[in-house]
């Protein structure tokens, strides 16, 4: 299930450009744009603290939000944001308008479960994560929060592919092949034979 939705209040921006953007930031606001859904883009200004808090809370790019501009509500999904490389504060956000039937492309984080039930990890094997996130197409109103990858029974030399992950209805990977998410590899120093035998018996 996706993160809980939230609301932001925004004001419409009449002036756009570098000068007005700088002025907004001095006043604690971030310039942003709402676009898509066959409608004209709207330039808006949002409260810097509110948006920065949302970005740092996690799940920002996969959570549908409602932005109210001059009394009108827009359902949106963040598509891109820029951070100041030095001061780590938000410079600009792009939002995509979404409706119930909007398909979006998002990156979903991968969580690994049952490490303690992996014989390969028990004997000192290392979980080598190939993809920390998986890019998928899915409905805007049903974005998964994360995918669980089960390591139960995985031995050294095993690979875990996307086909082993249960994806919710309507969610399909962008890459159209059975790609690897992680592998269990032998540790650099080799395996302790006694531990390996103990692990095999466990």
Residue 73 within any structural domain of the chain? yes
Model-level pTM? 0.79
Would you state the pLDDT for residue 200? 47
- Pair 95, 124 in one domain: no
* Residue pLDDT, tens place only, 76-98: 999 999 988 887 778 899 999 99
Answer yes or no: do 90 and 112 share one domain. Answer: no
CB crowding 119-143: b at 16 or more within 10 Å, else e: bbbbbbbebeeebeebebebbbbeb
Q: Considering 46, 79, 99, which residue would you say is the last residue of a domain?
A: 99
Residues 89 and 110 in one domain: no
pLDDT digits (tens, 9 = 90+) for 4-53: 789 999 999 876 766 788 888 889 999 999 999 888 999 999 999 999 88
Clarify whether residues 115 and 190 are in a common domain: yes
57, with CB counted inside 10 A (0-12, 13-18, 19+), is exposed
Kindly report, residue by residue over 130-188, the tens digit of the pLDDT: 999 999 999 998 899 999 999 999 999 999 999 999 999 999 999 999 999 999 999 88
Angstrom distance (rounded) from CA 88 to CA 63: 21
Whether residue 1 is contained in a domain is answered as no
14: alpha, beta or left? (left if phi > 0; alpha if psi -120 to 50): alpha
Q: How many domains does the chain have?
A: 2
Residue with tokens 């390996």: 196
Same domain, 122 and 89: no
- For residue 184, the enclosing domain spans 104-201
Dump the DSSP string for 81-104.
EEE-TTT--EEEEEEEE--TT-EE
């Amino acid at each position: 299930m996706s993160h809980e939705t939230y609301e932001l209040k925004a004001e419409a921006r009449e002036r756009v450009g570098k000068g007005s953007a700088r002025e907004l930031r001095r006043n604690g606001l971030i310039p942003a744009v709402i676009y898509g859904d066959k409608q004209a883009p709207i330039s808006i200004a949002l409260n810097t603290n509110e948006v920065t808090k949302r970005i740092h809370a996690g799940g920002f790019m996969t959570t549908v939000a409602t932005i109210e501009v001059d009394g009108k509500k827009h359902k949106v999904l963040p598509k891109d944001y820029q951070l100041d490389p030095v001061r780590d504060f938000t410079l600009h956000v792009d939002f995509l308008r979404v409706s119930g039937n909007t398909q979006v492309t998002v990156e979903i984080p991968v969580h690994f479960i049952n490490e303690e039930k992996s014989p390969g990890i028990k004997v000192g094997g290392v979980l080598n994560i190939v993809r920390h996130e998986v890019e998928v197409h899915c409905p805007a109103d049903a974005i998964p929060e994360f995918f669980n990858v089960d390591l139960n029974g995985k031995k050294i030399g095993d690979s875990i592919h996307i086909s082993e992950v249960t994806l919710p209805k309507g969610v399909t990977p962008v890459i159209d092949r059975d790609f690897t998410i992680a592998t269990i590899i032998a540790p650099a120093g080799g395996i302790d034979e006694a531990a390996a035998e103990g692990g095999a018996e466990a």
